Chains A and B, each alone.
Chain A
Amino acid sequence: MVTIAAPEAARRAPDEAALTSVFEIEGLSAWYGPAQALADITFDVPKNRVTAIIGPSGCGKSTLIRCLDRMNDLIHGFRVAGAVRYHGDDILAPSTDPVALRRQIGMVFQKPNPFPKSIYDNVAFGPRVNGYTGDLREVVEDALRRAALWDEVKDKLDTSGLALSGGQQQRLCIARALAVEPDVLLMDEPCSALDPIATYRIEELITDLARDYSIVIVTHNMQQASRVSDHTAFLLAGEERTGRLVEFGRTRELFTTPRDQRTEAYITGRFG
């Protein structure tokens, strides 16, 4: 079907055009002071799908995902060029309010980071600051159910979020992010601090959530990427530590018939 061999088109999966995208990343480059962390990244993140960003340590995966909710703004000396369009608007433009943006785009971090408050207050904080006027109890219960945590915590909503196990804490963080009814969920290596069973539960949850949300997940675990994601972006950095996009495509195709030999080398474990 696809006959054009231009490199731009070759990077895309054949039926990509049929999917609407939530982010259009175009020519994205990023610097920490003088050090360039990302160079000319271009790909579209499809809506209501799970997109994995994989690559070895230091390839700029986290930098890339943090560009999507402007969390890099907090880092002194961080600079970015190119465009990230979210529903058509360039979120990197100075006129974009990061506070309004982050309310739409939830984020789950590498290490579970619940607030040192009750489970209830952890989940209720987002709706509260964002001026939710409905029934908070309902929102909290709904978010905890979506995060598959409700049954475990419904009788102890008053205890500290930090009293939960690591995996439960991470699901609490997911519930907290879901409580503000975001459009996108960004997950920066959400399982790297968890044991295999907790990891399995989070992966199950990601698959469930993909029905309602667009999810971008950074992972250094290729099995995880192949299990949970529909699309995968593979990043690689050379000696100079500048991450570049090697390949983006449907996960199944990228893992079974990679177009770039570096992708093949990475997924078969020949380097990393």
Chain B
Amino acid sequence: MSASAVPATARWRPAIAARRRRGRTFLWLCYAATAFGILSLAVLLGDVLVKGAPGLSWDFVTGFPSRLASRSGVLAALVGTFYVALIVVAVAFPVGIGTAVWLEEYARPGALRRILQTNIGNLAGVPSIIYGMLGLAVFVRALALQRSLIAGGLTIAILVLPVVIISSQEALRAVPVSLRHASLALGATRWETLRHHVLPAAAPGILTGTILALSRAVGEAAPIILISSIAFIAFLPDGLLDQFTILPIQIFIWTSKPQEEFHAIAASAIVVLLALLLTLNAAAIVLRDRARRSARW
């Protein structure tokens, strides 16, 4: 009956070997998951490179689309993509970061902030085609911007806005409260505290989040399908109200053609798009590291 009747060692079953085995099993599952991701990416990349590399040339990058696959180029789409990205940076970043600062630093907790927060979270999960419809209704039709560069840029800006807001909020929230207190206790105003301490400390996080949002935006085709006229665009946009096309649309057009040659140059265009995305991500890393160095954690 009493526990002391059993020898002390019999009441313990350490089974260390079995516990170690469970740990190793988990580790192997993690390896497998990582390998799965990397392998599928490698296969995709390899496939695109094999198909697209032969079509890559300076003429391809600097040429306009043509009825002949061999004479087609991506210049119009590349420049269009670049301009759309510029509009996104000019619109979504200030608006998104401003919203995040207000929500995190100024808004009093309460119903209003909760409602806004929930809706921003929901908007981040809305399918991008819905944003395309919004852009079509508001920018193209209601504001009569037609199927223009600015209509497309604004649509994409609104598409990435929730992501920019949320990632900026997270970066601001990661700044320790003690830093704000230190500044306020010295007689600094709220704005001075933000300007000199909170924003510089949050900058690396804000930059990383927003530039990743931008590179996602650059790869979006769905909303632009509704906005840009999927027509043949063989010129560069001169102004904000000009027609435009972007790389994902150009790729979409070429892959939906029946001729094999166009499928090959679609792969080449994908390589161009990937190069653009990698450049953007590299820029994000450089900017982040620079911002990190200026704050001496």
A binds B: yes
- B24 sits at the interface (CB 8 A): no
Asked if A180 and B186 sit within 8 Å, CB to CB, the answer is yes
User: Contacts of B179 on A, CB cut-off 8 Å?
Assistant: 113, 115-116
Query: With A115-B179, A116-B297 as given contacts, are A129 and B185 in contact (CB-CB < 8 Å)?
Result: no
Number of interface residues of B (CB under 8 A): 22
B interface majority secondary structure: helix
Q: Determine if A113 and B182 form an interchain contact, defined as CB atoms under 8 angstroms apart.
A: yes
Chain A nearest CB: distance from B105 CB in Å? Answer: 11
Assess whether A117 is in contact with B296, with CB atoms less than 8 Å apart.
Answer: yes
Partner-contacting stretch, out of B32-40, B59-67, B189-197? B189-197
> How far in angstroms is the closest Cβ of chain A from B174?
13
Q: Which one of A7-15, A41-49, A95-103 is at the B interface?
A: A95-103
Q: Which of B178, B183, B296 contacts A160 (CB 8 A)?
A: B296
Number of CB contacts from chain A to chain B under 8 A: 76
Is there an interface contact between A125 and B183, defined as CB atoms closer than 8 Å?
Answer: yes
Tell me the A75-113 residues at the B interface (CB within 8 Å). 76, 99-100, 102-104, 106-107, 109, 111, 113
B109 cross-chain contacts in A, Cβ below 8 A:
76
Across-interface contacts of B108 in A (CB, < 8 A): 76
Q: B residues within 8 A CB of A56? A: none
Assess the B295–A173 pair: CB atoms within 8 A. no
How many residues of chain A have a CB within 8 Å of chain B? Answer: 32
Contact A71 B187 (CB under 8 A): no
The answer to whether the Cβ of A189 comes within 8 Å of any Cβ in the partner chain is no
Tell yes or no: A74 within 8 A of B by CB.
yes
Instruction: Identify 23 residue pairs between A and B in the complex whose beta-carbon atoms are under 8 Å apart, listed by A's number.
Output: A71-B184, A99-B187, A102-B184, A102-B185, A102-B187, A103-B187, A106-B186, A107-B181, A107-B185, A109-B178, A109-B181, A109-B182, A109-B185, A113-B178, A113-B179, A116-B201, A117-B296, A125-B188, A126-B188, A130-B186, A160-B296, A162-B297, A163-B296
